[in-house]
Structure formats: structure tokens, C-alpha cells
Structure 1
């Protein structure tokens, strides 16, 4: 949009810098028919706001916007991979109900691994905007949002059944049924988002146009937003009240696994609250957009605030749950400190080390390790009276032919 505010009738010369927001233009003014005078004009050029590159959304430079998007993508992707891996390697998290947590992390990983890097590629290409990329981001973000909403509801139901119902009732939540529910969530979400985006039934994120059917949007909001939110809150609150009532009984002595499950349930509830905090502002402004025109800067700032939830959710589990925290620490040591982590069990026919062995990497360059454990100490303690202790380290051999240096 080009706006010129002259004080006299003049003709603006073609000396305007198009890339500037406010520039000074020169003009000629015929004064009294006798001569020409040079007059300065202020020309304001309004550049359209880009939801992909964040240009005109923030006052940051191109490099700053690139670092922001890349930083969010890298941190969020690594954290989500850690969250998925934690459920796989931590024994206390290997429960069929935690498949819902993995599904939530997968939805967050799609946002941090595809939506945000797409913006980084457009920024690197030096483009102001890319409508195809914007449409792709809106489709994928809507899909992941709906999957997350339904998965959080499934998590609340599973936590209630695990903590409040009998073991016989909870046994109906088999791994096959939970997997079928997760697949149904993805299929249902894909169909709903595809119909809304390609049939123009919902709001257009890229152009901020709301041309869909109002009755359809109200129905979708009730079925996929309001109803799951209310039911999720109800299941969590009922679970908390049931557990507190059970703990008030002096004769109630739950096993230690019950405390672990209850702690994980509270973490899931915190994740649900954080999801509402990050996505509610954008949902409200999206609803208001059906009635009146909104400021583009505010609209897209709230949209990216909602997307940033996918980068923080995995850290919430690390901070509030000790089993996730222990798994994160082990994964960090494995990835950064070259510590060996065993993912498979030995068969009974194989000769295994004592169960309490700890493998210590002494000198990485020479593949020298030390095996020590309380059991091994007791075994070697009986032999120490029959042999003379040597100075330094002793060299022994193992059945597999590798030399092991024991301290």
C-alpha cells in the first residue's frame, strides 16, 4: 500500500525505494506558473506480513529471525526425540498407557522437524513469503494440534483407569486396543483437517480470511475443542480426588509403583495445563477473526507462541518427573560422553557378567574398560588372601578374547 501526503498539488518523481517502509520522495510543484520548486514528501510503503518468514511480524533482522527459528527447531526436535527414547529405555516408563505420551511427542516432533525448518529454508532463500510453504505449515500444524488434543484426552482416560479402577478393568486396556486408538486418532484428524483445508470450510491462516460455514466451524469447535477439554479436565480432577480420598484412609498402603504412576499422572496434567496456556490465546483470536478484522502482527505472534509449545513440553517432563529425568541423563551421557548403554538382554545360555557390573570407559583411545560391582568385589575378596596384590592394574582375559583392565 502506497500512501502520499502532499501539501500542494505535485507530481511525484519515480525516486522511491521500494524496499523501505518510509522513504522521502522528491516532487516538482508549479508555483504561479513561473517556475518549479522541489518539495519533499513522506511516502509510506506497507509490506504484507509474512507468516512464514516472520517478516514485519517482528522488528528483528533476517539473521536474528533465522537463528530464532533454527534454535527452536533444533532444541525442540532433540527434546522430542529424547522423550520418545525415554519411554523405550526406562524400565519404569515401559507401560502400554505411555504410548499416548509417545504419540504426543510424535506430533510435536512433526512441528519442530518440518514446520519450523520450512520457515528456515524460506528465510535462507531470501524470499519474503511462500504461499505453498504457508499452506503446508497450516495443514501440518492443524493436524498435529488436533492429534494432540485427542491424545491428551486419551491420556487422561488411561491414567484414570490405571489409578482408580480395578486391575481386572484396567486389563481391558490392552496394547492392541491402545494402538488401534492411536491409529484412529491420526486417521480421524487427517480426514477432518483435509476436509477443512481443501474444501475451504475453515479459516485461512495464510490470508487471514474466514470464508467457511459458521455452523460447521461451531460444530468443529464443540466436538474437537470444547468437549475434549471439558472431559479431560473432568477425568484429571476425578483422579486427583479419588487418590486423595484413598490416601486419607490409614489402612491404605499402596505399592511404590502406584506412587510412580500418580507422579506421572500429575506431570501429564501439567502438560495439559501448559497446552491450554499456549494455544488458548491463538484460539480466542482465531474465533474473533470470524467477526472482525484483526491485526496481522498480533495474529501471527500468537500463532508462533502456540507452536513453541512443541519445543517446551518435553522439558516439562524432564523437570517434573524423575524417571524421565533419569532417562534424559542416560541418553545425554550416551550421546555426548560415549557411555555404553545396553538395550538387549543376554540369553540364558550365554556367559553373562554379574548383574551389578558397571562398565567404565577409562581410556577411549585404547578401548580400555573397567568392570566393577559389589558381587565382583566379593568374588575377588576371597581370592586376595591366596594371591599377592600386584601394583597398578592387573591384566586379565575374558572368554571372548578381549583384554580387560581392572582397577
Structure 2
């Protein structure tokens, strides 16, 4: 009997550590295990492939159109900053950074959905989680880049040349790298600790936890408010300067102000596309929402990355000229150099004389 009892003890003794490990796993995410609730109508839509009641062909055509327009347009937009004389400014690196974030959406996130749809797969969790990670990453990068763009525009248009000289190429490069590091860290924390709505599992977390409130305030509300204030400040100072009879803006100032307006329109477009989804995410903390509404607004927000480049083509002549030159180069194998005379040669003879409002046309 003693030997049998000893044998029984040997077989049952390893079980408690396994149970303890399972309990420890549950304790790591107590909020997720206990309070996550499914969305309404969660079975009729996919976070990767859109609504199931839509025709498979229509879904495929929509995704392909977004991929083509977004990918080509964002490549054109990034290239424009490199080839157009008036756009070759270190401050415009932040504009290219927004285009790079948009390219990740149109060139990686949406094409993955196309592959899943063509393969007839059932929403692979790894694919969905990767898409959500990249979406959060690009969202934060875009928000911070818009704020930096507005700050650079304000410094270039409204402050002195001595103040603008603080913005060096090295500092711009370091700032862009820090933006990507901070954004990647925030996206990783959201994925690893499963904070906020579980995008892929179609579940929401009732109740705003302190982490969400702090992060939303620091990396969303504050940058957005700063961007709005800076653009309003620029518009006010320019309007005030134009009331002065001695105010004679140079060609460079006119072009820089036009680019600032295009940046402002791009920021407003970002708010229009992303605000409905951000508000819906916030509403999920107090009430349940429909999965149809949640995921359709998510795709609507992501589609912004495919149309932002078109806005610059319409709103700014220098981006438009660069797009035309790039199109001729790709289709006709002509040079990408602009056909107009060197802009810097014209600008240096038209310096703005009005105090407090300046414009610069090239790297210092």
C-alpha cells in the first residue's frame, strides 16, 4: 500500500504547477479575461475582409483600387520632396514622413487583406494582429508628424531667420527617428498588454482605464490641439501683416504659404477620416457598439492613406508639377527635372521685407 500511495503521489504531484501556470496566465490579463464583451452583430463582418454580405468581387476591387491609388500616389509624394526645387527643404521631411506612414497602410496593410481574400482564408489572427499593429503605428506617426509640420511652417513663415536656423538637418533626422520609435513602442504596448478594444477578436473593453486616458491625452489630444493653434496663429499673423500697406510678400513667401495651406488641408482631411473611428473607440468604453459600424469606420479611416497624396496634387502647384514630371519619367522616360527655371535663382531677388514674416527656399 505504501508503494501504491507513493506512486499516486508521483503522478499527481506535477499537476499543481500546471494549474498554477494557467492561473498565472489568467492573472496577467485580468481585465481582458473578465470584462471583454463581444460587439453587436459581430458575425457578419470581418476586420480583414470587410462585410461578408458584400460581393467578394466588389470587396476585391475596392481593396485593389485603394492599393494602387495609395501606393503609387504615396511614392510620387515622397519623390516630389526630393526632385522639386521648392520642396527640397529639411522641414518638408515631416510631410514625407506622413506619406511614408500612408505608404505602409496602402502598400502592406491593405494588400494583406487582398491576399487573404484571394486565398479564401478565415481571417488569420497573425495577419489581423500585424495589420492592427501597423495601423496604430502609422496613426501615431501621422499625428506627431502633423504637429511637427505645423511647428516648422510657423517657424518658417512667422519667425526670424535666426530662429529658423535652429531647425537643422541633423535635428530633423533625429526627430523623425524618435517619432517612429515612440509610435512603435505605443503600438507594441497596446498589442502586448491588449489594452483597449481587441480589434481582431471583435471584443471591446468597457470602461476607460488610466493607461488609455493618459496615452490618448498625450499623443492624440495634445498634438491635435497644438497643430490647430499653430495653423490658426499662422493665419492670424499673415492676415494681420496683409493689412500693412508696406507688406509686399515675395514669391518664396507666397509659395511657402500655399504649401502651408496644403498641409492644413491635409490635417483637416486626417481629422475627417479618423475622427469617426476614434470617437467610436471611445464610445465602446461606455456602451456596446455594432461591429458593422466599428469595422466600416476603421476601413474608412485607413482609406485616408490612399487619398492624401491626391490632395497635395490638387492643392499645391509644386507637388502637381512634380507628379507630372514623375509621370513623364515613368511613362515616357524623360528627365524628372522641372521644366521651369531654378526657383532659388528667382527667390533670392524677392526677399520678404515685412518684419516677423520670412520665407526660406533652400537648405541653409
TM range (shorter): 0.7 to 0.9
Structure whose residues are more often helix by fraction: 2
If you compute each CA radius of gyration, which structure gives the higher value, 1 or 2?
Answer: 1
Asked if 1:154 corresponds to 2:148, the answer is: yes
Asked if 1:196 corresponds to 2:183, the answer is: no
User: Which of 246, 249, 252 pairs up with 2:247?
Assistant: 252
Alignment correspondent of 1:208: 202
Alignment correspondent of 1:33: none
1:113-192 → structure 2 map (5 Å cutoff) = 113-192=107-186
Asked if 1:218 corresponds to 2:213, the answer is: yes
Q: Distance in 2 between matches of 1:256 and 1:314?
A: 24
Unaligned regions of 5+ residues in structure 1, if any? 1-44, 344-354, 357-407
Moved more, 240-249 or 332-341: 332-341
Shift of 1:213: 6.1
Q: Distance in 1 between matches of 2:280 and 2:327?
A: 39
Unaligned regions of 5+ residues in structure 2, if any? 1-40, 342-364
Asked if 1:267 corresponds to 2:258, the answer is: no
1:1-400 → structure 2 map (5 Å cutoff) = 47-56=43-52, 59-211=53-205, 214-341=209-336
Shift of 1:62: 1.0
TM-score where L is the length of structure 2: 0.79
Q: Distance in 2 between matches of 1:48 and 1:227?
A: 36
Q: Distance in 2 between matches of 1:210 and 1:340?
A: 53
Q: Distance in 2 between matches of 1:185 and 1:340?
A: 34
Q: Distance in 2 between matches of 1:210 and 1:195?
A: 17
**Contact persistence 1:203–1:209 (CA under 8 A):** yes
**Contact persistence 1:55–1:128 (CA under 8 A):** no
**Contact persistence 1:201–1:213 (CA under 8 A):** no
Shift of 1:197: 1.1
Shift of 1:225: 1.2
Q: Cα deviations across residues 124-179 of structure 1 (Å, max 9, x unaligned)?
A: 10123222111111000000000000000000000000000000110111111111
Structure whose residues are more often strand by fraction: 1
Shift of 1:55: 3.6
Q: Cα deviations across residues 228-285 of structure 1 (Å, max 9, x unaligned)?
A: 1111000000011011111211112222101110000010000000000000000011
Q: Distance in 2 between matches of 1:235 and 1:342?
A: 33
**Contact persistence 2:51–2:292 (CA under 8 A):** no
Structure 1 residue runs of 4 or more that deviate by more than 3 Å after TM superposition: 45-48, 210-213, 340-343
Superposed CA RMSD in Å reads: 1.8
Moved more, 245-254 or 270-279: 245-254
Shift of 1:112: 0.3
Give the number of the structure with larger relative contact order, counting CA–CA contacts within 8 Å between residues 6 or more apart.
2
**Contact persistence 1:146–1:224 (CA under 8 A):** yes
Corresponding pairs, count: 299
**Contact persistence 2:147–2:224 (CA under 8 A):** yes
Q: Cα deviations across residues 195-238 of structure 1 (Å, max 9, x unaligned)?
A: 11111222211123334861111111111111111110000000
TM-score where L is the length of structure 1: 0.71
**Contact persistence 2:195–2:212 (CA under 8 A):** yes
Alignment correspondent of 1:392: none
Q: Distance in 2 between matches of 1:291 and 1:341?
A: 54
Shift of 1:46: 8.6
